[in-house]
Structure 1
């Protein structure tokens, strides 16, 4: 199989596995609408791209080599996920669907949170360091060129999947708002996000990595 296609399949399998991004985007889009959800998708994509470029130039290797830096990012990510879960649980916004996008600051805030969530995920750096090099081939094409192509493929696949989640959740928003179930769904997702934070803490430890 072509190494790019093989990598794309690997990235697809990884990205369709439920995780913090999926849950956060679903909860955000249900409560604040598509525009805010897509802003968060853009922040997540930028975070993945930043780690990809850092890996390409060797900076991400520091995260892998320095235990204290890895742990700092790891526990920062856990704390941030817990914060997002708490905010989703305590939010009482029940505005009409057409008003849920809010002022321009809301999409910007969602973008920033999406970016921070991924920058505080050291597994993104480890993925680029541990998985991506296996798909770089000694075929005469410069390693940097192949690396950047694979990074672009991964970010594109992740963004498409995340955009689909936002589109689906925001499409369900008016129905849930009309039935009065949006608060319940949001709180269920908050509990799921909290559970993912616990899972993230357990699964990203060095002994579990």
Structure 2
């Protein structure tokens, strides 16, 4: 049985990651702004299934695989860092965009397409890949039972926190977009803050060490 300390640690870790703009937030906010809250929630359904896929992979030994084959982790690590750096540059460069900038070129799509795009966005999200492969294993306790059982419980905590934050993003995206649209200085500050946080996370990802086996 996992400890309350592990639960609190994972909850705080996921809260910090979920509040840092990344692929999930950008996609969900864009869909909610351009196609409505319902579209954002359908997209979030796909995102939630993506969380479950990572959880099952972790329980099956993803972190152990990366520990046994360090080059695999290194490839994922630097690919994720490069992608986060790319997102950061997209916000920080002249003419860059905030996650809450309405994208008028984003065409409406079907529910099936919304769901599948939400799923794919999350499966390709380097933050989530590194969370399950490199960070969650650090909260395992050898005295608390099988690693796979602990990962399932800790992953459940991550999913609850992540989905809750993303629901709030979807529900509040349109309001935040409207608020920022008439306040260009606040929009610029939000964009540079978000870009800076993504850049910092990219650097932290690149410098992270290979995880120990679970």
* Fold agreement, TM-score > 0.5: yes
Deviations 1:31-57 (CA, angstroms, capped at 9, x unpaired): 553567656755554443223212222
Partner in structure 2 of residue 15 of structure 1? 14
Whether 2:204 is the aligned partner of 1:199: answer: yes
Partner in structure 2 of residue 117 of structure 1? 125
Unaligned runs of 5+ in 1: none
Task: Identify which of 40, 62, 67 aligns with 2:65.
Answer: 62
Partner in structure 2 of residue 173 of structure 1? 177
Flag the 1:49–1:73 CA change in 2: closer, same or farther, 3 A.
same
The question of whether the paired residues in 1 share the 8 Å contact of 2:2 and 2:150 is answered with no
Q: Return the offset for 1:66.
A: 1.1
Aligned mates of 1:120, 1:135 — CA distance in 2: 26
Secondary structure of 1:53's partner? helix
Aligned mates of 1:147, 1:41 — CA distance in 2: 22
- TM-score, scaled relative to structure 1: 0.68
Q: Return the offset for 1:104.
A: 2.1
- Number of equivalences: 199
Flag the 1:35–1:174 CA change in 2: closer, same or farther, 3 A.
farther
Q: Return the offset for 1:199.
A: 2.5
Aligned mates of 2:12, 2:85 — CA distance in 1: 26
Aligned mates of 2:122, 2:39 — CA distance in 1: 11
The question of whether the paired residues in 2 share the 8 Å contact of 1:85 and 1:193 is answered with yes
Secondary structure of 1:22's partner? coil
The question of whether the paired residues in 2 share the 8 Å contact of 1:40 and 1:110 is answered with yes
Aligned mates of 2:44, 2:143 — CA distance in 1: 26
Aligned mates of 2:89, 2:38 — CA distance in 1: 22
Unaligned runs of 5+ in 2: none
Flag the 1:120–1:67 CA change in 2: closer, same or farther, 3 A.
farther
Partner in structure 1 of residue 159 of structure 2? 155
Aligned mates of 2:141, 2:67 — CA distance in 1: 15
Deviations 1:107-131 (CA, angstroms, capped at 9, x unpaired): 5555533321147733421334332
- TM-score, scaled relative to structure 2: 0.67
Deviations 1:128-154 (CA, angstroms, capped at 9, x unpaired): 4332455844xxxx9866653443333
Aligned mates of 2:61, 2:200 — CA distance in 1: 33
